[in-house]
Chains A and B, each alone.
Chain A
């Protein structure tokens, strides 16, 4: 599904990713762990196409298509979803309006019919209910006045509504208490754990992985993947810390 080969990327002229390679197949959940500054967020932003994250070398294909050639909204329409570490506030624009426009823009690009207001609301309600997110919250401006936990939950509601093929979840667990973490994890499993979808979890801590069991765990350090293993690697990291492994 996603194939990253020898990816080099820089921000403000500073090289952050230095030859990262990774292949994700349908049905797989991958976790990328690593110390602060290893390039975890750079990887997620580069894959989503954030301006200012410049690829200097390497290749990324998504379902055989050159991902790096696409604009951010085209990547979204292709089925890529980025769960933001810091979801952005958009005053005056309601969640419902935002997501309906976004979803219908994606559908249009894929040659699908637009969802009517009623159908959209039904779909949104299902996702909101599943994540304990009130309709009232859905009608409020995007992320404005939301707590950190509410913002993360909103990201999951959005993911459920948009229903992507590949979700890159950047520190989705940060800032969540244990109950919220459980709700968010259930959401990830429910929405994304199917044979035709895949997830790339980016996290600093192992605790999310207790709830969303990864098939592979990678350690990112110095801009490349230095070690790959199964779920047990996360526990090892938790015990030993990054120092020894990344060294």
Chain B
């Protein structure tokens, strides 16, 4: 019976291999010369009218990057990447001063529509009165082209800018924190990002301010062979609160596209940052051709006492994912959370997890990871919980569950626990299972077809994580899980 079902699953997976959001939009590009050199770095910096210190910083990173080698410890099979055979900068042509929506290239707005930006946000973009307030700083191929609600945010004192603008307008603030959470020499991909980051987002929430709206950024890779090097820096000052949503899709491409973003979060005393991601970049076709390489460094510094950072991610896309959103819990009583659903299908590979570094007293961390593997994919949870001698009373709870759909995929769990303080309490649990025939039959006997049954059960499996997402993302994420797994019954 299971053979029959596997065959069905394979056939369905083949059918589902057409990427739902595969399209390209025609927007003229302003390219940096192909390849990577000091000249490329200078080109990017000049293009962005950066101050001298920023250029120096980039060059320092570039020179160090030349001495580094790519990491090889992840359970990933990464084809060699020719860094000279890629473009490092592409800017959509724009009219002068894209301050208002009317001036935004209509092509870009059409792309949003195709992207299925939630209706509420479309209303916001269209300026409908009374629409729910979601500020969208749209990153379209590296450069921020439209920023809405800036005025309202500014009334609250919130700075929400593209990072290029912030470097020019708030140099002291940027200088103070850029590279402080993820140091310039942190790792191969982060260092590369330091050298060539194209654009990204800067957010500053002043002391005591609760950000009046959820901030969301849509990332999207559009130009063929354009590496994407986003840079995000969010600083939450004392007692402030912000929720940031990041969602991504990418059009279908044959060639692999490298994405090496860096996200740095800083939470000062009593501040809280909630960072949610739904990642649905092009995963490649059923044979593993094409697809995004997603090599991202995300890290939060809980610097202040009672600060809190919560990472939630739903990772369904990309050919290869290498991503470990982490928390350095320096402040007393600070809290780090990591909630993750990672789905791999066909030939996708994901090595993702988190690092919780407990430095301060009574710091707490929670890790909930749900890995779902199907097709011929490999899905690895890799996590580190480290308790320093100073972290008196540290607590961690980790739950890692893996679900296998079919017998040609792999599910791996690689947790590291390093404890140097006896008052720490560390608990780690992990399970591996498959969807049971009983569950499938029960759901089907109530009228759900096989795919709906699988989607329902998988969503149940991932529920603990999905319910951490803001509502509009949760709905999208549930749909994504279903779409990503179509036909993949074990």
Contacts and interface: CB of A to CB of B under 8 A. Distances in A.
Our verdict on whether A and B bind, yes or no, reads yes
Interface of A: 48-52, 71-73, 75-77, 82, 84, 87-93, 97-99, 101-103, 105-106, 109, 141, 158, 162
Interface residues of B, number: 26
Contacts of A49: 444-445
Contacts of A102: 443, 446-448
B445 A71 contact: no
A51 B452 contact: no
A109 B447 contact: yes
A105 B447 contact: yes
Given A48-B441, A71-B449, A93-B460, 6 more contacts: A49-B445, A51-B441, A73-B449, A88-B442, A102-B446, A106-B447
B117 interface: no
Interface in B441-466: 441-450, 452-453, 456-457, 459-464
Given A52-B1, A90-B442, A103 B461 contact: no
Most chain B CB inside 10 Å of its own CB: which residue of A48, A73, A162: A73
Interface of B: 1, 5, 436-439, 441-450, 452-453, 456-457, 459-464
B448 A105 contact: yes
A75 B444 CA distance: 9
Contact of B457 (A77, A82, A93, A158): A93
A101 B456 CA distance: 9
B443 A98 contact: yes
Contacts of B1: 51-52
Nearest to A52: B1
Contact of B447 (A73, A89, A141): A73
Contact of A92 (B442, B443, B464): B464
B456 A72 contact: no
B442 A84 contact: yes
A51 B5 contact: yes
Q: Pick from A77, A88, A97 the residue with the most CB of B within 10 Å.
A: A88
Contacts of A88: 436, 438-439, 441-442
Nearest to A87: B442
A90 B445 contact: no
28 contacts: A49-B444, A49-B445, A52-B437, A71-B444, A72-B444, A73-B446, A73-B450, A73-B453, A76-B445, A77-B447, A88-B439, A88-B441, A88-B442, A90-B439, A90-B443, A90-B456, A92-B461, A92-B463, A93-B457, A97-B456, A98-B446, A98-B456, A101-B448, A101-B456, A102-B446, A102-B447, A105-B448, A141-B460
Contact of A91 (B443, B447, B460): B460
Residue with the highest number of chain B CB atoms closer than 10 Å, among A76, A87, A97, A102: A102
Contacts, number: 85
A86 B437 CA distance: 13
Given A52-B1, A98-B443, A93 B456 contact: yes
A162 B448 CA distance: 12
A91 B461 CA distance: 7
A103 B5 contact: no
Contacts of A52: 1, 437
A87 B448 CA distance: 16
Given A90-B443, A93-B457, A102-B443, A73 B448 contact: yes
Given A90-B457, A93-B460, A105-B452, A99 B446 contact: yes
Nearest to A107: B447
A92 B456 CA distance: 9
A106 B452 CA distance: 12
A80 B471 CA distance: 36
B437 A90 contact: no
A48 B447 CA distance: 11
A106 B445 CA distance: 11
B481 to A, nearest CB: 12
B443 A158 contact: no
Nearest to B463: A92
A81 to B, nearest CB: 8
Contacts of B449: 71, 73, 105
A192 to B, nearest CB: 17
A95 B70 CA distance: 48
B462 A92 contact: yes
B302 to A, nearest CB: 29
Nearest to B438: A88
A52 B444 CA distance: 14
A71 to B, nearest CB: 7
Nearest to B437: A51
Contacts of B452: 73, 101, 105
Contacts of A84: 442, 445
B445 A92 contact: no
A140 to B, nearest CB: 12
Contacts of A92: 459-464
